[in-house]
Every structure is written in C-alpha cells, then in structure tokens.
Structure 1
Amino acid sequence: MHKLGPSLMCADLGNLERDVKALDDAGVDFYHIDIMDGKFVPNFTLGPDFVKTVRSLTKTPIDVHLMIEQPELYIDLFADAGADMISIHQESTENLQRALTEIKSKGIKAGVAINPATSLEFLDYVYDVIDYIVVMTVNPGFAGQKFIPTMYDKIAKLHCKLEQFERPIDIQVDGNIGANTIPKCQESGADMYVLGTSAVFNSENSLEENVNNTRKLFI
C-alpha cells in the first residue's frame, strides 16, 4: 500500500486545524513536518510547539524530518512533542548509528534522509536500526523545486537492495512529488510520498479533491 503524507510546511498555517481536519477526512496516512535550523539547510521552519499542536489535532501518525545539525540533541524534544517517526540526515551527525538507536529507544520509527548527491553505501551499516529511508528528490530547504531525474535510478537501486531483508523498510520520496513524478517513483519502488505544492496543496481544488486525485495516480 502506498502511503500519502501531506507536508505541513505547505499548509495554510493560519487555518491549520481546518486543513488537518480536511486531510484527516480525506484519509491521509501520515503528516510530514520539516524542521530546519538555517544551518544544515538555508531556511528556517516550524519547531516542537508546532508538532505538539498538530498532535493535539489528529491521531494520524506524525513524521518529523530533522534537517538540522546535531539532531541527536533534539530527539527527546520531538519525541515528547508527539512524533511517531523521526528521520535524520547522515550528513548532519557524527554518529548516525547511535542517533538512530536513540530514536528507536523512544518507541518510534527511525529514518535516514539522503540528499541527492549522497551515496547509498553508508546505509550498509544502519539497515538493522532503520524503519524507513527518505530519498530527497530535490536539494532540501525550500518547497517548489524541480525533481532531479537521476533520483529515479537511486530509488530503484535502493529498492533492489531492500528486497534482501526479511523485515520491511519503507522508501519515502520527498521533493516535487505529484502527477508528473509519482508514476515513475512508484515504478522505481517508492512506498511513502511526501506531498506539497505539487499535489495536495495545489490551490486549484480542495484538499480532499487533491488527495483523491493523487490516489488515482497509483496503479
């Protein structure tokens, strides 16, 4: 089953409760919340109080993507705020394995996010402590960027690698995910789709209509 997760940095933050209710009614599978510190990526967004607010509005799983330096210092903060999943970047920490183990010790899912130019080889040493892998299909930091076409091959290679494991590890794709990119991401082996302005938050239709239209893209 393919899981759809609206990226709440693209929501109408002045009407967050309204939007979350509409998305819940449309049956989304998770909410994706980007946390940026202005250092690891050149932008600032959201924080633990925002995660707490979303948690108070919905029972749908919350996926927190930490695009910050030294994410291991903030795992407790976001776990306590209500995260069900936390992903961190290999490039942002000096001890990835330890940080992932810390996430799992909180009883939540641990993920690794991979920038477009990052090789897959480092994953060989953390597959045993991860539940999902976020393939960034744009360079992280800003919404509205163009999908990097070479990422299809990266998703496919990762999918082939994961087939050897006896337990499921999901592939999440993040960055310009919409009608023009979802079919080939699905073909390449993606499982989870982070949806922003290219799909769910397209102002031409209601949020419910956009979710329904997106689901129709899957074979």
Structure 2
Amino acid sequence: MGVQISPSILSADFANLESELARVAGADWAHVDVMDGHFVPNLTLGLPVVERLVQVSPVPVDVHLMIEEPDRWAPGYAEAGAQNVTFHAESAAAPVRLARELRRAGARAGLALKPATPVEPFVDLLPEVDMLLVMTVEPGFGGQPFLDVCLPKVRRAREAVRAAGLDVWVQVDGGISPATIERAAEAGADVFVAGSAVYGAPDAAAAVEELRALAAAAC
C-alpha cells in the first residue's frame, strides 16, 4: 500500500477533537493512544471517547492500546469501529487468540513492541497480525526524541516480514518528524505515527504531505 501517515491526536487539542481530526483529513489514519495509567505512566481516554471519534473521523481510526489486560478490552475497540487495533506483546496473555478476535470483529490486528522488546520471539506470530508496531520512544508521553537505537529492530522486523512473504505493515511511533522519518523509512517502516510534528505545525495538512513525501523518497 506504500507510505501511510497516521497523525497522533495525543498532540491535538483535546477540547476540540472533531475539528482537530478534520485538520488531518488528508492523512491515511487517525492514531488514537489509549493509556490506562498502569501499563504506562499516563492516562488518556477510553472506549466511549474512541467510539465517538470513529463516528466523526474523516479517516480510519488506528487505536494503540497501551493498557493492561488487552485480551479483555481490545475487542471492544474493534466492535466500536476502529479499523486497526494494536495491543502490546508485553501485556497480552494470549496474543494469537486476541489477534484472531480482532480480525473476526472486522479490525486489522496490530502487535506493538516497546523499545527494549526484541522482534525475534514474535516472528512466528507474524501470520496472525496485520501490522507490527516498533516503538521508537518509551510509550507513555508524546514529544519525546526519536531513539535511533530502534532502527536495527525496524530493519529486522522488515526482513522477517519479507522472509515470510507476508503483507504485514511495519509501523513506527515516537519522535517521527521531517528530521527522522527518512531514517525510519530506509530501515523498512511504511506506516508512520507523528504527533507534534503534525499538530504542532501551523498547517497540519501540509505537515502530513511533507512527511509522506520524505518517507516515499527514502523507501
């Protein structure tokens, strides 16, 4: 499918989320971070808000669950209409079963890895998911600097997907900006989450297109 840009509303104005979503109508996804204050040291929003965001978003909603017990809670986000639901390998009790439940509910299933979590233990799970999210910052807060140390893991993820002959997207999330997106694309990422680089720009739509062009040129 080529380069995809998924602006993170974590950097948007939470008092005006419908209008903030309209600012990125030219993006491929709207990235929604759900944090529970336990798996990560931050608390954002939950299922009722996401259900409403799905109804008003001009683009598909990409939910990233940074929560404990995703096996219990993740299917509800798919049932609410999120078109991609990503859960963390570190907190899922039965990741294969959960991925299959998400797919049965009509969503794409994503598997996320923290910066220190290696790819290799999860290579055999790749046929069960639609996307592998490699975190390029420690999850929990927006605006953190990009961790170049994660680039070799992005490369290994892309190589594993290619070796298996699968159509699994490789997403990167954290510190993505015009200064870093080319390195991530060169490493093999094809879906890019960007928060402050988009919502902190004077023209969010133009920022999306700039990121798309930079990544496409580097692929």
TM superposition score normalised by structure 1: 0.93
Alignment of 1:200 with 2:206, yes or no, is no
Distance (whole Å) between structure 2 residues aligned to residue 165 and residue 157 of structure 1: 12
| Shift of residue 22, structure 1, vs aligned partner | 2.1
Residues 97-140 of structure 1, C-alpha deviations (whole Å, 9 max, x = no match) = 22112111212111100000001122123112100000000000
Report the Cα offset of residue 59 of structure 1. Answer: 4.5
Partner of residue 214 from structure 2, selected from 191, 195, 217: 217
Q: Corresponding residue for 2:119? A: 120
Indicate if the aligned counterparts of 1:202 and 1:210 stay in contact, CA closer than 8 A: no
> For structure 1, which runs of at least 5 residues remain unmatched after alignment?
none
The amino acid that maps onto 2:209 is N
Cα offset for 1:187? Answer: 0.5
Identity, % of aligned positions: 36
The code of the aligned residue for 2:5 comes to L
Q: Secondary structure at the match of 2:163?
A: coil
CA RMSD across the alignment: 1.3
Work out whether residues 79 and 105 of structure 2, in 8 Å CA contact, stay in contact via their aligned partners in 1.
Answer: no
In the superposition, relative to structure 1, how do residues 152 and 81 fare at CA in structure 2: closer, same or farther (>3 Å)? Answer: same
Residues of 2 paired with 1:86 and 1:9: CA distance?
Answer: 16
Query: What are the ranges of 5 or more consecutive residues in structure 2 without an aligned counterpart?
Result: none
* Cα distance between partner residues in 1 of 2:19 and 2:120: 42
Alpha-carbon contact 1:116-1:138 (below 8 Å) kept: yes
Residue type of the partner of 1:48? Answer: L
**Residues 9 and 31, structure 2, Cα contact 8 Å, conserved in 1:** yes
> Within 2, Cα distance between the matches of 1:32 and 1:109?
14
8 Å CA contact retained: 2:86, 2:110 = yes
Aligned residues: 215
SS at match of 2:23: helix
- C-alpha distance in 1, partners of 2:107/2:88? 17
Q: Distance in 2 between matches of 1:216 and 1:78?
A: 31
Shift of 1:52: 1.7
- SS of alignment partner, residue 163 of structure 1: helix
State the partner residue of 1:60.
59
